Structure 1
Amino acid sequence: MKIDAHQHFWEYDPIEYDWITSEMSVIAKSFLPKDLDSILEDHGIDGSVAVQARECLAETDFLLELAKENPKILGVVGWIKLFDQNLESNLVKYSQTTDLKGFREVLQAKDSSFFLCEGFKKGLKIILNKGYRYDILIFEHQLDSIQELVKSSPEKPMVIDHLAKPKIKSGEWKEWKKKMARLADREYLFCKISGMVTEANWPKWSQEQLSPYMDIALELFGPDRLMFGSDWPVCTLAGTYEKVYGIVEEFSNQLSKDEKEAIFGGTAKSFYKIDNK
């Protein structure tokens, strides 16, 4: 099974999606499954994992409704407030659906005190012990704090989104590699090869500029803990789906058939516990 492990849907509203700035006007419109289905088919992709783009329970419900109606949505990574006295009851609400695979918050916009507080740690422990996955969305400068969070969490599968957003635009990678290596030592942590083009110079990035980061991710995590994600439609700020797919396709040509299949679906299928719909 070939899987895009990271993409988004939304019905655009400037207030609900206030993170879409004026320079991002190309994505200031609605993106729904009907807009993605043919793109997936063109690339031989069986389906995708839809990831939250708003921080509210309505976002989780929205994505689950889309998943119910669209067989190409193989799983949902929703949002839930981890340090909330209603966490357990909210989880009961979602316990009857198999489409909900995990949760994510926009930690990249938060101070470390937000996710290192005891309430957050307790909530993370609850969802992980219930079998949900957690997507870690951060910038490179937050890696030390995430290391601290991970050390205090159950040894359950979590995934680092977008390679922790290294400084691709400036071509820096040495400090990022050191910090990522400490996380990669934990075999229950995974990484998505996604979000690279939007961390580069949008109109001027190249395969050569991105290759070192993919090489390092492969060295640290291995193909069985890496997964391709397009980050569509956000990726269209800097390139088409075809170009973003092509980056990882060209990179993976150095690998064996089994290793390539892991990155393009096998890892995601196992990590998110995806069954054929």
Structure 2
Amino acid sequence: MIIDSHQHFWHFDPVRDSWITDEMQAIRQDFLPEDLLPVYRENGIDACVAVQAAQSEEETRFLLRLAEEHDFIKGVVGWIDLLAPDVEERLAHFSQYKKLKGFRHIVQAEPEGFMLQEAFLHGIGKLEKFGYTYDIVIYPNQLDDAIALVKQFPDQKFVLDHIAKPYIRQGIIYPWDEKIRALARFDNIYCKVSGLVTEADHKSWKEADIKPYLDVVFDAFGSYRLLFGSDWPVCLLAADYARTKAVVTHYLQDRLFAQENEVWYQNAVDVYNLEL
């Protein structure tokens, strides 16, 4: 079995989705379950977790509707205003949806310190009561904040998206590598092996460019806290689905990884409490 722990759906809106610039023509269009399902069939993917791409409760409801209509969507990571004074009431409202597994805020677009402000910490502190995960999507300069956040909530499950978007294109690995190892010392955080090809050079990347970064996360987190994710359709900026998946397939083969089922599906089931 293979579970794609990180992919997106959207009806493209040039205003709302302004992050999808004119240079990203490959993804300036709608991407929906009927577009993804044939891709999954071609690549042997059994199920997925749909992750928010817009910062609104409307986005969360949109993904939940898709999950109700398509059984292969086993979980949703939505968005909620974690800074809001009524965050607990909103969490209680959403707790009626069985496929809602956690939340995410696109912190990479925020200034350093965003995750450590009092209102945000208050919101994070309410997630455990409802059994929700929190996905951390950041750039390397925000890893110190992530370490401080995860340390404050030892009983909260966190998931680091896209291995914190290291500078693969530039070949820069330090100090990202040291901070990843520091973050991985906390056993309440998992890490998605996702979003790698888009951090490399879109036109000329090779698997060898990505391998040093995979070495770091596999050594730091071990097989029992890593999850495969495609980041479809964003990955299409640099590779099709088959080539995106092959990066992980070939890496696991080269390392003769005995616990590869944990990376392909078991860790996703565990961290997101998926019902298959």
Q: Structure 2 length as normaliser, TM-score?
A: 0.97
Aligned residue for 1:200? 200
% same residue: 42
Matched, 1:170 2:167: no
Aligned residues: 276
Aligned residue in 2 for 1:123: 123
Match for 2:6: what amino acid? H
The answer on whether the counterparts of 1:166 and 1:173 sit within 8 Å (CA) in structure 2 is yes
Contact preservation (8 Å) 1:128, 1:134: no
> AA paired with 2:98?
T
2:69 is aligned with 1:61: no
Contact conserved, 1:128 with 1:154, CA < 8 A, in 2? Answer: no
Counterpart for residue 97 of structure 2: 97
**Aligned-partner SS, 1:197:** coil
> 2-side partners of 1:270 and 1:152: how far apart?
22
> Aligned partners of 2:98, 2:148: CA distance in 1, in Å?
31
CA drift of 1:256 comes to: 5.3
The aligned runs of 1:8-157 (5 Å cut-off) are 8-157=8-157
Which whole-Å CA distance do the structure 2 matches of 1:119 and 1:24 have between them?
Answer: 34
8 Å CA contact 1:140–1:165 kept in 2: the answer is: yes
Paired with 2:41 and 2:186, the residues of 1 have a C-alpha distance of 35
Please state how far the C-alpha of 1:112 moved relative to its aligned partner: 2.4
* Contact 1:191 1:221 survives alignment (8 Å): yes
Contact 2:59–2:78 (CA under 8 A) maintained in structure 1: yes
Moved more, 29-38 or 150-159: 150-159
The one-letter code of the counterpart of 1:29 is: Q
Give me the whole-angstrom Cα distance separating, in 1, the residues matched to 2:83 and 2:128: 14
CA contact (8 A) 2:67 2:75 kept: yes
CA distance in 2 between counterparts of 1:80 and 1:87 reads 8
What is the SS of the residue equivalent to 1:215?
A: helix
Deviant stretches of 4+, over 3 Å: 254-258
- Offset at 1:257? 6.5
3-state DSSP class of the match of 1:49?
strand
CA distance in 2, matches of 1:8, 1:171: 27
Instruction: State the TM-score, normalizing by the size of structure 1.
Output: 0.97
Give the AA of the match of 2:33. P
1:221 aligns with 221
What is the one-letter code of the residue matched to 1:74? K
Give, in whole Å, the separation in 1 of the partners of 2:241 and 2:155: 34
| Runs of at least 5 residues in structure 2 that lack an aligned partner in the other structure | none
Letter in 2 for 1:81: D
Give CA deviations for 1:199-244 in whole Å, capped at 9, x if unaligned: 1111010000001111111100001100110000000001100110
CA contact (8 A) 2:150 2:186 kept: no
Matched-pair contact (CA < 8 Å) for 2:113–2:145: no
Query: Who is 2:211 aligned against?
Result: 211
Counterpart-to-counterpart distance in 1, 2:111 and 2:155: 24
1:26, 1:39 → 2: CA distance?
Answer: 16
SS at match of 1:209: helix
Letter in 1 for 2:249: E
Amino acid in the other structure paired with 2:167:
K
Does the CA contact (< 8 Å) of 1:75 and 1:272 recur in 2? yes
Distance 1:202 1:129 in 2: 41
Taking only aligned residues, the RMSD between alpha carbons, in angstroms, comes to 1.2
In the TM superposition, 1:220-239 aligns within 5 A as 220-239=220-239
Say if 2:82 and 2:120, in contact at 8 Å, map to a contact too. yes
Instruction: Report the Cα distance in structure 2 between the residues aligned to 1:12 and 1:197, rounded to whole angstroms.
Output: 22
